[in-house]
Amino acid sequence: MASLEDIGVSALINLIGAFAFLLAFAFLRLQPVNDRVYFPKWYINGARSSPRHRGNFVGKFVNLNFATYLTFLNWMPQAMKMKESEIIEHAGLDSAVFLRIYILGLKIFGPITIVALLILVPVNVSGGTLFFLSKELVVSNIDKLSISNIQPKSLKFFAHISMMYLFTSWICYMLYKEYDMVASMRLKFLASKSRRAEQFTVLARNVPHVSGRSVSDSVDSFFKKNHPDHYLSHQVVYNANKFGRLVRRRHRLQNWLDYNQLKYERNPEKRPTMKTGFLGLWGKKVDSVEYYKQQIKEFDERLTMERQKVLKDPKCIMPAAFVSFNTRWGAAVCAQTHQSKNPTLWLTKWAPEPRDVYWKNLAIPFVSLSIRKLVISLLLFALVFFYLIPIAFVQSLANLEGLERVAPFLRPVVELSFIKSFLQGFLPGFALKFFLYILPSVLMVMSKIEGHVAFSVLERRTAAKYYYFMLVNVFLGSIVAGTAFEQLDSFLHQSPTEIPRTIGVSIPMKATFFITYIMVDGWAGIAAEILRLKPLVIYHLKNMFIVKTERDREKAMDPGSVDFPETIPSLQLYFLMGIVYAVITPILLPFILVFFAFAYFVYRHQIINVYNQQYESAAAFWPHVHTRIIASLLISQLLLLGLLGTKKAANSTPLLVALPILTLTFHKYCKNRFEPAFREYPLEEAMEKDTQDKASESEINLKAFLADAYLHPIFRSFEEVELVEVRVEKSPPDTPSQLASEPVSPSRSRSRSRSPSPSPPHHLDQEEQEESVTVQHYEVGPPANVYHYGYEHHENIFHYNMDQYNETQHNVENYNMDHSYYRY
């Protein structure tokens, strides 16, 4: 068991590690060669350009302005300058509410820490029980600050019960205020948003098969009949997963062609060549440009055949469709009501926003979803218990004294002062962090197998699995396994009737292990987050070996996003540890406070400068955060109830029985009061927004607005002019008034109204664009200019918003189209 000296060694190691990470970050962020790694958000918004375009050769890689090194810590005050409203505009409501979780932790644990240290610690120290049990149990000087030091049947337990009531009341009060605030922010955010496709669209699944009718005809007929006044249009869902894999391979070929063309442009005297064998090591030597042109031509023919197969094969059309309505009110009524007397057919729910759709899972038959969820539940159950093995190993490292009593031959090694402090103070927390490293990725794969159709839902389900895993393994598993290893000698030599007393005394003493975990994960781990060592290394490796064009460099930048599946469950674990040990071992609370404060600074900086969220759910995750903090309260109350039972406090224990009941009543009230704002869209709000639209934009063509919002990616992947007839009508603005009215992509419009990029600032480089009317292919990407694109197939015309990209050789032009943003 870790002693005060071991905790000091761990704190020193982690503080040195955290400071080293921060120092490295402060130095690396100033180097021009790393600018895209530490400020990618501003590049995406168009508010920053690379500093490597200016200066001498050395200045392209190293910052030669030595004055900037004197202010290497200015990132912390810069991170605090942006107001919450500006963060919402800059990064979205999800990011702003995520930061509020850290503020909530500070608001909850700040007062609790002060009260617990001033009242409960003196009460615990005065107990003196562990002095008499030190010969029977493994104890340390830190354990004398816990409730385990109170003698059985003592009246001092009334102090702990009173504090539990006080802490519960304070936590519930703060939760109520925060739930109210977040619900209001969500409704205000939704009301302030401009017209969005998901406000008018519903996802209909399990469309019944009707003999002689296609899925499209069935959807059209059903909604015209049951929603005649509000139904507008629909888009059926295709199973085009194989086609998508082919498109990605085609993009890789195009990248190689672009690379060789640029290489030839730089050195026209020498044509680039390659060998056609494995990895270009052997085989026939050919002209690289002509080789990749021929490869792309053959691949385009294959892609066209595959696409025609998908469009014509009824088996590739899934019994699902995105159904659009002419009003928000009509969409809300459809999404929030049953559509059929058979509750298993015509299942409707709000469509995710276009960026949020996980297209692969739309191809999963609805009937298989229940089976998939059952199988994944069984696998999760097995995985949780499989991980008890490494958890037990970690606890064996944390409790060397217990092992020494059973295996004395280990004593000469572990009794060395530094080795013992390292093994007990640092290694357990590090080992636990290591075993948990790959777990979120595994759980994400399991969530995808379950069949969820939105990235936001996938991340929330993964977060739920990770939380249950952390609760069972990291918290309860560490307590049970740790207690068993600590008191192994006692268990083997005492009567069964004494085991409950031993467990009751030992559980509070596990706080020492969680303190080491907090320092490893919450101090050094958070400092490593801001350093971004992994993205930094990957970015430079890609620049060296993979990046061939400027487009590749932008892809290599990879800003990432807030990792909700991992960070939110970890946050909830910190809430759990703080709430549980606030009464029984208050010495843990200052370490929790340091974590919340430090993590708030770091994630605020990352959200402003680095992360680029893939989707916006308008804080849909908050009910889960609230519920799991309530669960932490219930666990702490039940744990204290059982602990007092082992202490034979029969007079005081019944006073705690009412507390879980009151907590559950509070949770039910909050659920009924606030959760509907996160589950449903109020019809009153929908009607009000529709009325405002009619008054301000009465001439809007809503059908054209929604026409391409939920087009399957099969229509957006590539086009070959030799195989499919393509028309491009370019309508550039001729007058300043037309230019003013031209639609602007969301990312660019936001960047014009936001605060400038953090120092060092850079000016945007202007790029010239060339016109062309011949299109060979295009790729998915962020929009800049808007084009009217017509694709003729089966007598239908599909309209696309297109963007122009720089013209390349041989009359080829790339067009970027964003599947995330649409012209509204």
Tokens at 186, concatenated:
């969500």
Kindly indicate the confidence band of residue 726, based on its pLDDT and cuts at 50, 70 and 90.
very low
Kindly indicate the confidence band of residue 572, based on its pLDDT and cuts at 50, 70 and 90.
very high
Of the candidates 773, 784, 781, 755, which has an alpha carbon nearest to the alpha carbon of residue 813?
A: 773
User: Would the pLDDT of 803 be above 60?
Assistant: no
Distance CA 735, CA 468 (A): 60
Kindly indicate the confidence band of residue 474, based on its pLDDT and cuts at 50, 70 and 90.
confident
347 bridge partner residues: 205
Q: Which of 125-129, 158-162, 289-293, 471-475 has the highest mean pLDDT?
A: 158-162
Sheet-wide strand order for 812-817: 726-729, 787-793, 796-808, 812-817, 777-780
User: Would the pLDDT of 416 be above 70?
Assistant: no
Q: What is the pLDDT of residue 324?
A: 93
Q: What is the pLDDT of residue 627?
A: 95
User: Would the pLDDT of 485 be above 60?
Assistant: no
Is 648 in a helix, a strand, or coil? coil
pLDDT digits (tens, 9 = 90+) for 7-31: 777 788 888 888 888 888 988 888 8
Of the candidates 562, 561, 398, 380, which has an alpha carbon nearest to the alpha carbon of residue 471?
A: 380
Q: What is the pLDDT of residue 713?
A: 65
Q: What is the pLDDT of residue 682?
A: 87
Q: What is the pLDDT of residue 821?
A: 32
Distance CA 200, CA 82 (A): 33
Q: What is the pLDDT of residue 191?
A: 83
Angle subtended at Cα 163 by Cα 162 and Cα 168, rounded to the nearest 5 degrees: 105
List Cα–Cα distances, 309 to 318, 442, 719, 797, in angstroms.
14, 34, 16, 19
Residue 383 burial (CB < 10 Å; 0-12/13-18/19+)? middle
Q: What is the pLDDT of residue 650?
A: 67
Q: What is the pLDDT of residue 409?
A: 58
Instruction: State the CB neighbour count (10 A cutoff) for residue 8.
Output: 13
User: Would the pLDDT of 113 be above 60?
Assistant: yes
User: Would the pLDDT of 740 be above 60?
Assistant: no
User: Would the pLDDT of 822 be above 50?
Assistant: no
Omega cis (within 30) before 760: yes
The residues near 768 (Cβ < 8 Å, ≥ 6 apart) are: none
More confident of the two residues 718 and 40: 40
- What does DSSP say about strands 317-325 and 777-780: parallel, antiparallel, or unpaired? unpaired
pLDDT digits (tens, 9 = 90+) for 575-629: 999 999 999 889 999 999 999 999 999 999 999 999 998 888 999 999 999 999 9
User: Would the pLDDT of 195 be above 60?
Assistant: yes
Kindly indicate the confidence band of residue 505, based on its pLDDT and cuts at 50, 70 and 90.
low
Q: What is the pLDDT of residue 383?
A: 87
Q: What is the pLDDT of residue 483?
A: 57
Kindly indicate the confidence band of residue 808, based on its pLDDT and cuts at 50, 70 and 90.
very low
Average pLDDT, the chain: 76
More confident of the two residues 180 and 48: 180
Q: What is the pLDDT of residue 264?
A: 80
DSSP labels for 653-700?
GGGGTHHHHHHHHHHHHHHHHHTHHHH---HHHHHHHHHHHHHH-TT-
Distance CA 175, CA 185 (A): 15
Kindly indicate the confidence band of residue 184, based on its pLDDT and cuts at 50, 70 and 90.
very high
pLDDT digits (tens, 9 = 90+) for 309-328: 887 788 888 888 999 999 99
Distance CA 518, CA 513 (A): 9
User: Would the pLDDT of 482 be above 60?
Assistant: no
SS3 content of the chain, % helix, strand, coil (to 5): 65, 10, 25
Query: 584 near 160, Cβ under 8 Å?
Result: yes
User: Would the pLDDT of 725 be above 50?
Assistant: no
Range name among 219-233, 616-630, 638-652 with the lowest pLDDT average:
638-652
pLDDT digits (tens, 9 = 90+) for 318-360: 888 999 999 999 999 999 999 998 888 899 999 998 888 998 8
Distance CA 573, CA 101 (A): 13
Tokens at 182, concatenated:
């977040």
- What does DSSP say about strands 201-205 and 347-350: parallel, antiparallel, or unpaired? antiparallel
Angle subtended at Cα 626 by Cα 623 and Cα 628, rounded to the nearest 5 degrees: 110
Mean pLDDT computed over 380-398: 72
Kindly indicate the confidence band of residue 658, based on its pLDDT and cuts at 50, 70 and 90.
very high
Is 814 in a helix, a strand, or coil? strand
User: Would the pLDDT of 52 be above 90?
Assistant: no
User: Would the pLDDT of 750 be above 70?
Assistant: no
More confident of the two residues 713 and 717: 713
Angle subtended at Cα 457 by Cα 451 and Cα 458, rounded to the nearest 5 degrees: 60
Mean pLDDT computed over 375-384: 90
pLDDT digits (tens, 9 = 90+) for 506-516: 567 677 878 88
User: Would the pLDDT of 239 be above 60?
Assistant: yes
Percent of the chain with pLDDT over 70: 71
